[in-house]
Amino acid sequence: MTILYFIIAIGVLILVHELGHFIVARRNGIRVEKFSIGFGPAILKFKRGETEYKIAPIPIGGYVKMTGEDPDDAGGATDERSFMNKTIWQRVKVTAAGPLTNLVFALVFMPVVFLIGRMEPAFLSQPPVVMGVKANSPAELAGIKNGDEVKTVNGKGVSTWDDLQKDIIISAGQEITLGFSRDGKDISATMKVETMPEIKAGFVGIEPGFFLGNEANIDQVMANGPSAKAGLKKGDKVVAVNGNPVDGWIEMTELIHSSGEKPLKFTVAREGKVLDFDIVPEFNKDANKWVVGIVKSLRSTDMPMVKRQYGLIEAVKHGTEECVKLTGLTFEVLKRLFTGQLSYKSLGGPIQIAQASAAAAKYGLPEFIYFLAFLSIQLGILNLMPIPVLDGGHILFCGIEAVTGRKIPNKVRAIAQYVGLALLLTLFMVITVNDIDSVWGIKSMISKISSLVSF
């Protein structure tokens, strides 16, 4: 089912994107020769009018082939319906239509999420009043106490836990300053955000997810980690460690860290049975602590949830506000990536997108639509980046042509596009390898492949 949800999610977004190019190209009198969803040989194709429509088996992209779009297309030079013979403004409109349609898609469908109603942790919409501080966390070391109400992050106002957590999550490894009120006084504290390696997100130790829904239920077992090797599974509930009853997830993780490299006996409940497993923790450099490779979901089933549902006008308002927030978050992540403040390892590729789409679908239609809208915003923004091969690169070429009054030579354009393609393919490969390592573990994959080819 994971693959199916991935194909649906990517297919919808590609269709939306390419329809934008297609419709605006037709409206500007440009001949569209092919409209393809996916790459590779056609699984299904038909021709209507002058355009061939097809569905191909590789669902990671698509394209609209216009006459004269390729500078080396000799026939396009004399065809009045050729892309290259249209005005600069017409070419910019056609090129920008794809990513802009993705942004419009998000603006249209995000309100639908709030119209249907979306389940989310109840605390997200509440003021960020500290309900607990994790031992030895950045927040505790900085002097944060129960009852403090966070007002600002690096000088920027926050009014809900949702606002605060989004800023903390993307600040892994960086210093942030929290402004908060305590007994009527305004105080500030600076701390370095730690990394939660299991979900590649930042935390400071005051997040309600540490204290609400604190049952020691395992929602994910990290590939090639100590727990996976020992035999723990998703859905297990840890009831004791070394014979001592476990009161909650936080107490368990602190016990693991304090034990260092000493072997631990985990007692878990699984399908009505009680099982014991011997596990040796390993040290995680990113988190600077001892771990066993198990994860508790931020949306665990034992966490109080609330349904956010509104009438039409309010749904449009909240949907638009959410799109604005997510757009700002996307730009902030890009800025931190390009300035080296955020590691490429925090990015997710096709495998993690597939997992995220399946997880979103599991929570229902509203969550899946929300995921699609957020992914559509990211797709739209990324495609507008001024990198050759991307839509933003073509717009950049048009801008240079408008300023200089001359078209960029075909040879220069071709070299730029090859460089852009090489960069994108390299990034894609790096992210995909990172995906495989996160989901299955590189060492585990290599050993499995080796066992298949060994005699």
Q: Name the residues annotated as catalytic.
A: 18
Residue 287 zone, left/alpha/beta (φ > 0; ψ -120 to 50; rest) = alpha
Closest CA to 198 of 134, 293, 288, 279: 293
Q: How is residue 249 written in tokens?
A: 């997830």
CA dist., res. 391 & res. 437, Å (int)? 31
Angle CA(267)–CA(270)–CA(273) in degrees, nearest 5?
80
Q: What is the secondary structure of 254-282 as a DSSP string?
A: HHHHHHTTS-EEEEEEETTEEEEEEE--E
Angle CA(54)–CA(57)–CA(59) in degrees, nearest 5?
95
CA dist., res. 349 & res. 10, Å (int)? 12
Q: Judging by beta carbons within 10 Å of its beta carbon (0-12, 13-18, 19+), is residue 409 exposed, middle or buried?
A: exposed
The residues with which 306 forms a beta bridge, in sequence order, are 120
Residue type, 436: I
CA dist., res. 236 & res. 274, Å (int)? 10
Angle CA(49)–CA(52)–CA(58) in degrees, nearest 5?
160
